[in-house]
Amino acid sequence: MTTSPLSAPPQLSPAGAEHPSAEHDVQALDPDVLAALHRARDAGEAAAGWVRALGGRQSNEHHGLVLERAAEAIERASHQEVVPGGNGELAEELRYSLAADVLLGAAHTATLPELTPGERIPLVAVCALAAAMPACVIGAPARELTLLADELGAATAAGHAATAAANSG
């Protein structure tokens, strides 16, 4: 287990809370950017659902909580944190929740989360892709966010396939 540089996990803001700089007018957005934002949100919700399912099957509740925090962070990073006109930075508590702890579990347990080998790589990919999404607002948001959303969807599909394979074998 690695120990996080933070002594305790930061608390996530409520899922419905708006980003402080989310003062943009959705109606004024370019249609391609708006479509990319919706695509990212949908991909993030699907990915978070898979991560929640992983968390729900953990016999150690602390590992389940780590995965639940990761699911919440994926949703926020792919939606509320993607703010056109924003600074493109991911909030510290989200970076923490999307870090290696999703694979290593809660540090104080001295055990690993119950994940199949085929689930680990998609889980890392889902977290990394979600963490990259807020930065897309600085470059070419429609193109970059669409690419990341599509890859997030592919990583989630690979995760579901790994879960299904483990359950059938």
Domain positions in the chain:
60-168
Angstrom distance (rounded) from CA 121 to CA 7 = 26
How many Cα atoms occupy the beta-carbon half-sphere of 125 within 13 Å?
Answer: 20
Contact 126, 47 (CB under 8 A): yes
Count the Cβ atoms, other than its own, within 10 Å of residue 166. Answer: 13
Residue 24: the pLDDT is 47
> Dihedral through CA 96, CA 98, CA 103, CA 104, nearest 10?
0
Residue with the two structure tokens 């999404």: 133
DSSP H or E segment with residue 101? helix 101-104
Residue 86: the pLDDT is 87
**What does the pLDDT profile of the chain (169 residues) look like in tens digits?**
333 333 344 444 444 444 444 444 555 789 999 999 999 999 999 999 999 999 999 999 999 999 999 999 999 999 999 988 889 999 999 999 999 888 898 888 989 999 998 999 999 999 999 999 999 989 899 999 999 999 999 999 999 999 999 999 7
Residue 169: the pLDDT is 72
Amino acid at the residue 32: D
Residue 4: the pLDDT is 38
Contact 48, 98 (CB under 8 A): no
Residue 19: the pLDDT is 44
Contact 41, 78 (CB under 8 A): yes
Angstrom distance (rounded) from CA 7 to CA 141 = 35
Report the residue count for the chain: 169
